[in-house]
Structure 1
Amino acid sequence: MPEAGHRRSHLQAPIGSAATPELAAAVADAGGLGMLALTGLTEAEAVDWVRRVRQATNRPFGVNFVLDFPITDTLAACLDEGVPVVSTFWGDPATVTGRIHPAGALHLHVVGSVEEASRAVDAGVDIVVAQGWEAGGHVRGQVTTLALVPAVVDAVDPVPVIAAGGIGDGRGLAAVLALGAQAGRLGTRFLTAVEALTHDIHRRRVIEAAAQDAVYTRCFDDRWPNAPHRAIRNSTLSQWEAAGSPTAPRRPGENEMVATDTSGRTRLRYGVGMPLAGMTGDTEAMPLYAGQSAGLIREIAPAAQIVTAIAIQAGQIIEALRQRPSTTAR
């Protein structure tokens, strides 16, 4: 069946702290590539998460690190565990490629422009992830997926390219494959996976959202300034925009504690952390990261069902296009 091969053509984006070992393992078991987001975790925490994935699946998976933060020791611990894939974001991939490759892992790096893609290839990365402006969470560039992916494919050939940003179903996957990408990377779609640690409020807002509700902004920047992102409009974002989008420390509700996590730590209104299951307080005020593909998502489902449905739809579309009569004039 044509759809079977397309299960290997999509990846689960790291989606921050919502990406649990259970989610990564379920995606991997279903034929996709599951990912863990490990920036900010201690070495022991990262090793525990990696081992939990390994206990749940024997399929390949990956770990993601944001290079704007200290990740040296945690990356080393993951490489010692033999993780097969390391994804990096922001920062210079050349600072870590020399450690990733000797450990036998593949190095993926996320880019937002052709220039950045070329620099990543020069640094020695194995695969380039071209992230379009439609993406949720932190957004690297300002070019849409439709325009960015084929330009990056042309610029870095024969290095493989994975497309990210705005892909919410099999139609989007089929489209980026047609643009020359070898795979698609989906984040927002997996926020509504049963296995994700997404807070119920965040999950519900994703399901209810229209594409235009996912706003490109710099609102939530405590601990990570100058890092634009896309999140669903909420009370904090609306109040901040109404005040003229001021910078810190002049934002409305500056330094206000809005929620508490399961370990008792409080969370700031403009903090970068997303609400997770078990948090209490005004969690709606926290960043509800999501891409414009939120407008396509209308259900909560197990990760395996999501992977399978996307693969089937993409395979059916590609097969239908193959069988479509040519309209070339004779």
Structure 2
Amino acid sequence: MTPDLCRLLDIDIPILSAPMGGAAGPDLVAAVCEAGGYGTIPLWGRPVAAVAAGIDAVRARTGGNFAVNIRLDLPHDEAIRACIDRQVHAVSLFWGHSPATIEAARRGGLTVMVSVGSAEEARIAAEAGADVIVAQGWEAGGHVWGQVATLALVPAVADAVNVPVVAAGGIADGRGMAAALTLGASGVWIGTRFLASREATIHPDYRARILAAPETASEWYGDLYDGNWPKAPHRALANATARAWREAGAAAPGQRPGEGEAIGLDPRGAAVRRYQSYTPHPETSGDIAAMSLWAGQGVGLVRDVQPAAEIVREIHEEARRILNAAPGLLE
């Protein structure tokens, strides 16, 4: 199944874990790698020493290849250098365009994955030397770069480039994986399903809401949770914060109900404020349900807490069964 991507990443299963900031720590990334997939750890916005420490923490848990996720809208040259110095297998670049960064990473021996929201962005990244294109559909949870749904985006991107394409957005089981592969993807990028993994570093109340949510509970917002990350569209579970904001006429930042009030404390004791871009950690306290509970539209398919390795194997095996039966589906 998708040998080109698997050879490039040196993996057995073309399932990649999404770099969910605050949720995808070394344990989750390593567990996905150990199961034969490919983990991605978010290390953006950190000092070089913290980037190096994050890389070392994953390597202490797995000998498998993984990627370091880096935001292009933040200073990132030193992080790229740390990845090169640490001889990480790959970097995952998102939230911006930077052919120069792609070229620098490639010169340093890194495999480069670039997240895009359109076929034109994919072409630009591939021409700059990207090895893998991640086509992120509008259904994806967390911060969403584009506005095209996965079903339409993946084949458009696959037609536009000659490098492996990884489908992201709304994929939470083997049916979604099989569909993505038939659309032209070489693998899948999964986030929301891994929020229900035992290794995800999220608050129990957040996980419980993921497990109970229907597919309609995931909503797209242009600028709701903009604290610490302004002007960045995102998708999260509907909650009391979002309802109050809508009832107030979807007021602009600076005019929203309860804006700036402390609704909890992070593990260091710092205030978590309403409308802040923040992933509730297991040790976060306060009104967890009122915080930014990132989730994609695949959330309605997430019903059990499982080890990450079991999730990888289950999705892969289901996709194989479906694809093996495909010749008979139209008879």
Q: TM-score range by the shorter chain?
A: over 0.9
CA contact (8 A) 1:7 1:311 kept: no
Aligned counterpart, 2:135: 130
Aligned counterpart, 2:306: 301
Correspondences of 1:98-109 after superposition (within 5 Å):
98-109=103-114
Among 254, 257, 272, the alignment partner of 1:249 is 254
Between the two structures, name the one with larger relative contact order (CA 8 Å, sep ≥ 6).
1
Q: Secondary structure of 2:189's match?
A: strand
Q: CA RMSD in A?
A: 1.7
Aligned counterpart, 1:177: 181
Q: Secondary structure of 2:37's match?
A: coil
Displacement of 1:75 after TM fit?
Answer: 2.7
Correspondences of 1:1-330 after superposition (within 5 Å):
8-156=13-161, 158-217=162-221, 218-322=223-327, 324=328, 327=331
The one-letter code sitting in structure 2 at the alignment partner of 1:299 is D
Q: How many residues align?
A: 323
> What CA deviation, in whole Å up to 9, does each residue of 1:87-134 have, x standing for no partner?
011111314112211221111111111121112122221111111111
Q: Secondary structure of 1:56's match?
A: coil
Could you state the TM-score of these two structures normalised by the residue count of structure 2?
Answer: 0.94
Could you state the TM-score of these two structures normalised by the residue count of structure 1?
Answer: 0.94
Displacement of 1:310 after TM fit?
Answer: 0.6
Displacement of 1:74 after TM fit?
Answer: 2.4
Q: Secondary structure of 1:259's match?
A: strand
Percentage identity across aligned positions?
A: 45
Q: Aligned partners of 2:117, 2:306: CA distance in 1, in Å? A: 30
> What CA deviation, in whole Å up to 9, does each residue of 1:21-40 have, x standing for no partner?
01100000001101101112
Q: Aligned partners of 1:268, 1:93: CA distance in 2, in Å? A: 32
Aligned CA distance change for structure 1 residues 325 and 301 (closer, same or farther; 3 Å):
closer
The one-letter code sitting in structure 2 at the alignment partner of 1:23 is L
Q: Aligned partners of 1:226, 1:177: CA distance in 2, in Å? A: 32
- Unaligned runs of 5+ residues in structure 1 are none
Displacement of 1:325 after TM fit?
Answer: 7.4
